Amino acid sequence: MDPDYSDDLSPPDESMDDLLNAFEHGLTGEHMHTRWMRLALEEARMAAAEDEVPVGAIVVAAGRVIASAHNQREQLADPTAHAEMIALTQAAAALGSWRLEGCTLYVTLEPCPMCAGAILQARVPVVVWGAADPKAGAVESLYRLFEDPRLNHRVDHTGRVLADECGQILSTFFRGKRK
């Protein structure tokens, strides 16, 4: 997490802050997503080093990382300890609100139904994900929860950002487990 982020600030308009941050760093569109996804990949590498399924997530608000996490299901003996769930909890604590409006979540793997539900409940407006998850993906692969008209919230999403790198870390991890 970024210690310079002040808890007493209201979450600003995400699109404007990301735009200003992008111009400040010479980044636009896909390049901005790539920058943040690389930080989520660092979290995934930490998970792999801890013998956890290598999924990482960060939450960005006002052009700063306010939460960063990786899977910890084995360590915590907690089936809900997915990277996204931990990052959402950290972001809510950093902002002092469960409503994560004005935030963007970056995660290395397409969110599962549990995480997609939590993202919707937290009112996260934007999610950027890496590798598709054909066995549990709830954004595009199996379900489309972020676009379900029966729900009262929607999430804009961009998928397959650094998909090869995000998928490779998972493939390498599971290949090692099968040996």
Residues involved in catalysis: 84
The sheet carrying 156-158 orders its strands as 64-70, 56-61, 103-109, 126-131, 156-158
Question: What tokens does 162 get?
Answer: 């650094």
In whole angstroms, give the CA distance from residue 59 to residue 103. 6
